Amino acid sequence: MSAPAPRPLPPGTRLRPLRAADVGEVARLEAELFGGEAWSADLLAHELARSDGAGADRRYVVVEEGPDDDGQILGYAGLWYGDGRGDADLLTIATVPRARRRGLAAAMLGELIGLARAAGCRAVLLEVRVSNDAARALYTRHGFTAAGQRRRYYTAPVEDALIMRLPLDECRRERGRGPSHLSDGGITK
């Protein structure tokens, strides 16, 4: 199954790389959206530092609302792609409740899948709560299939994780696409 054709973002929104100035807002959203499993501002800053420079092995993006750099963050996502010779991992993806069902998560996911493909990764893996039907449906629409389960993976509350996998070699043959070019110069620096 191939990933759906990318939809344009809603008017007034844009996809761009996560920046150091965003870490405080993303940490606030993490606490709001993920409670006891939220990443701290320190962890987010550490992750962001690993997304730049010669040894970069991951990328984080945000969707923001507004015409300039002072817009409100509506969603964020991150991907670890390593050296591109193995499988990539979707590290996080989240959209604020008021902005859901507008294609923002699909746009971020599509961007990161394109990055993994361009890096040469064989597949993208992710974990999702077994009860998160909306996220599972999003991943399925993008071609992910169940690959296993991790018992008691989540702790707040305790729940199993479904492991899902998207093989990129098949997607590469079907779609032949790499990442898009973001509005402020792309996701690579």
pLDDT digit string, tens, across residues 154-168: 888 888 999 999 999
What's the predicted TM-score (pTM) here? Answer: 0.84
Residue 189 placed within a domain: no
Residue 118 placed within a domain: yes
Residue 162 placed within a domain: yes
Q: Is residue 9 within 8 Å of 111, Cβ to Cβ? A: no
CB contact set of 159 (below 8 Å; sequence gap of 6+): 129, 130, 131, 152, 153
Residue 6 placed within a domain: no
Identify the domain containing residue 137 by its residue range: 13-175
pLDDT in tens, 116-158: 999 999 999 999 999 999 999 999 999 999 999 999 888 888 8
Q: Looking at the 3D structure of the chain, how many domains does it have? A: 1
d(CA 187, CA 81): 13
Residue 185 placed within a domain: no
CATH code (residue 121): 3.40.630.30
CB contact set of 128 (below 8 Å; sequence gap of 6+): 135, 136, 139, 161, 162, 164
